[in-house]
Amino acid sequence: MNRIQSTLTKEHKLLSIYFTAGFPELDDTVSVLKQLQDTGVDMIELGLPFSDPLADGPTIQESSTQALKNGMTTDTLFDQLKDVRKHIHVPLIIMGYFNPIMQYGVERFCKRCQETGIDGLIIPDLPVDVYHEQYQSLFQDYGLLNMFLITPQTPDERIRFIDKVSEGFIYMVSSAATTGAQSSFGNVQEDYFKRIESMQLNAKLLVGFGISNAETYQAATAHSKGAIIGSAFIKHLKTHGSDSVAEFVTQIR
Amino acid sequence: MKTSYHADKKGYYGDFGGAYIPEMLYPNVEELRQNYLEISADPVFKKEFDQLLKDYVGRPTPLYYASRLSEKYNTKIYLKREDLCHTGAHKINNTIGQILLAKRLGKNRVIAETGAGQHGVATATVCALMGIECIVYMGELDIRRQAPNVARMKMLGAEVRPAQSGSKTLKDATNEAIRDWINNPVDTHYIIGSVVGPHPYPDMVARFQSIISEECKTQLQEVEGRDYPDHVIACVGGGSNAAGIYYHYLDDPRVNIIAVEAAGKGIDSGESAATSVLGKEGIIHGSKTLLMQTPDGQITEPYSISAGLDYPGVGPMHAHLYRSQRAEFVSIPDQEAMDWGLTLSQMEGIIPAIETAHAFALLDERKFEPNDVLLFNCSGRGDKDLETYIDYFKL
């Protein structure tokens, strides 16, 4: 069983943290990973930086620009992660846009992921139908799960299709927004979370976008398996430095 | 099956096109995809579109036989005068079509991206015409470089929002417009200005621009006794004016298609916008196409003296025309394009946009037969470029 799948069977609510690889400094990647694991984070998403991250708000855009300036490349990331499975046991997911993966070569990328011990991918601009038709069997060959997003506007029929294709969790985007846009959840989110919960999907749901503190974490996980935090953590790293991970995680839960 | 150079049902032109978009954009793009063909084929829509093109834009634009140029180059040169459209370029054909579509879809807010400001002005214009809120994203650098167009948009009642991310130019303005659309999925229509972006945009914009070649067919029939040229020539940045003048000739093998890209300071100079030569297959703004990028897949910043040609990608239609060799691709450096700005002014009394001047520079690159009929898209007028012309020629 893939590490993501076994983590999803745990009893407790899950906390997944996203951060941009190579940020704030190029060589911070592994140290941040270790600290996240040490503070009990359940899953980690590593952002492969891209010059034109369409789905991201200013915080993640800026961290990507900084990581690229620091010299982050696809090969550099895999080199940094070469020995990561000697001491990191939590599931690792690479989140990146499709163009850099295409240029690397999709199969070559998958192979490096497998060698490194990456468990899954989130590729926001690779639509589920294209994935299903062209890439799913390749990803399966390398033991990689691909996670898809749904939003409050995603039609039910499409959610069912995404559920069918999903082997890991479904990434439930909290509202119609780019990353990092929101600070609290209202009735609209509550209704949406309940609506999706009532669909009784096969895949577990993790809520992301707009989760920044204990309150939003609680609200997000009330009707889901867990929550994903990205922008708020990046902001914290930017302000408090790359060795302040525990400080952030302990205030969430 | 007959080969076609038009988009297929899924929005692919050969290997290129499609809709590589984040799930957050899916409902918006899907709504458009499901409706654009039906709405634009509706007789009431068509009537309104045609009426506005006639009374407001000033169509049909003339097909002008350039006698002095023809004599000098010993061939037959026709100019399709899109520079005479309201707001100074072909861009408004598309914005008229899309604003009518937006109204049909019940949208009350319009967003657009702009580089040099021409598409921004054309969008602000139709929004003023319809009384619809208009927000134009423009790179912070471009706002500084294109002050007159920024002022025009403001006079027309649009809000101009600076794109401060990345390289602060057209591609970043496009990113910001897409992010706005993600954040406003219900009430907003995004008017893309070229044949780029996710399906259905490339096909939709090409269809709205296809009026250009539709008119050419009738006009050529009158003067030449046949409705097609031997060569059709246009400049290509994103490629909307080219798509418009190629459209009805794409599947006509009698017509040689020539695309002229901006070589900037030279193909190998590192400062160029010749996407077909320098680009590799990849994804930009939701479309699989040829684009300029680093070996690691980061999108790079193109360069051309003309702000309308410095897009790092190219419409998927054109990527396919290039790869399938249906079209000939030529690239013209800044200097030759600028010289042609003067040549066209002084030989025909037409001051062209610098983008447009690139197309004419083909005449020095390639020899044509005396009986060849050449159809150039004179896509825009040079008013917006006066400052660049003044600086360059010390006028």
Q: Is B283 within 8 Å of A98 when comparing Cβ atoms?
A: yes
Judged by a CB distance cut-off of 8 A, whether residue B240 touches chain A is no
pLDDT for residue A185: 85
The phi, psi pair for B11, rounded to 5°, reads 85, 25
Judged by a CB distance cut-off of 8 A, whether residue A127 touches chain B is yes
What does the pLDDT look like over A53-91, one tens digit per residue? 999 999 999 999 999 999 999 999 999 999 999 999 999
Cα(A155)–Cα(A134) distance, integer angstroms: 23
Cα(B319)–Cα(B17) distance, integer angstroms: 9
Minimum-distance CB partner of B185 among A52, A150, A153: A153
Quickly state the pLDDT bin for B2 (edges 50, 70, 90): low
Task: Give mean pLDDT, residues B132-155.
Answer: 94
**Angstroms from A117 CA to nearest CA on chain B:** 21
pLDDT for residue B3: 76
Give contacts of B 148-207 with A, CB under 8 A.
165-166, 171-172, 175, 178-179, 182-186
**Angstroms from B182 CA to nearest CA on chain A:** 6
Is A2 a member of any domain?
no
Task: For residue A155, say if its preceding peptide bond is cis, omega within 30 degrees of 0.
Answer: no
pLDDT for residue B1: 52
Cα(A212)–Cα(A125) distance, integer angstroms: 24
Is A5 a member of any domain?
no
Give contacts of A 144-203 with B, CB under 8 A.
148-151, 153-155, 158, 173, 176-178, 181
Q: What is the DSSP letter of A134?
A: I
Minimum-distance CB partner of A176 among B24, B166, B172: B24
How many structural domains are present in chain A?
1
Catalytic: B91? Answer: yes
- Sign of the CA dihedral running B43, B44, B45, B51: positive
Catalytic hit among B76, B80, B113, B331: B113
Judged by a CB distance cut-off of 8 A, whether residue B107 touches chain A is no
What does the pLDDT look like over B252-293, one tens digit per residue? 999 999 999 999 999 999 999 999 999 999 999 999 999 999
Burial of A231 (0-12, 13-18, 19+ CB in 10 A): buried
| Cβ contacts of A112 on chain B, cutoff 8 Å | none
Beta carbons within 10 angstroms of residue A190's beta carbon? 13
Is A8 a member of any domain?
no
Q: Is A54 within 8 Å of B26 when comparing Cβ atoms?
A: no
Is A7 a member of any domain?
no
**Angstroms from B131 CA to nearest CA on chain A:** 26
Catalytic: A133? Answer: no
Beta carbons within 10 angstroms of residue B376's beta carbon? 29
The phi, psi pair for B30, rounded to 5°, reads -65, -40
- What CATH number is given to the structural domain containing A129? 3.20.20.70
**Angstroms from A143 CA to nearest CA on chain B:** 24
Cα(B366)–Cα(B131) distance, integer angstroms: 47
What does the pLDDT look like over A7-57, one tens digit per residue? 999 999 999 999 999 999 999 999 999 999 999 999 999 999 999 999 999
Is A4 a member of any domain?
no
Contact status, residue A32 vs residue A245, Cβ threshold 8 Å: yes
Q: Is A74 within 8 Å of B297 when comparing Cβ atoms?
A: yes
- Strand partners of residue B232: B257, B375
Q: What is the number of CB-based contacts under 8 A between chain A and chain B?
A: 115
Q: Is B284 within 8 Å of A173 when comparing Cβ atoms?
A: no
Helical H segments across chain B, by residue range:
26-41, 43-52, 67-73, 91-104, 118-130, 140-145, 147-155, 170-183, 201-209, 211-224, 240-246, 275-278, 316-323, 334-348, 354-360, 386-393
Beta carbons within 10 angstroms of residue A12's beta carbon? 11
Cα(A10)–Cα(A5) distance, integer angstroms: 9
Size of chain B, expressed as the number of residues it contains: 395
For A80, the domain range is: 14-249
Q: How far is CA A140 from CA A98, A134, A158, B115, B205, in A?
A: 17, 12, 22, 42, 38
ipTM of the complex: 0.95
Q: Is A176 within 8 Å of B171 when comparing Cβ atoms?
A: no
Side-chain-facing half-sphere of B286: CA atoms under 13 Å: 26
Q: Decide if pLDDT at B133 tops 70.
A: yes
pTM given for the model: 0.97
What does the pLDDT look like over B60-112, one tens digit per residue? 999 999 999 999 999 999 999 999 999 999 999 999 999 999 999 999 999 99
Q: How far is CA B117 from CA A73, B42, B358, in A?
A: 34, 31, 19
Minimum-distance CB partner of B166 among A52, A55, A181: A52
Q: Is B283 within 8 Å of A125 when comparing Cβ atoms?
A: yes
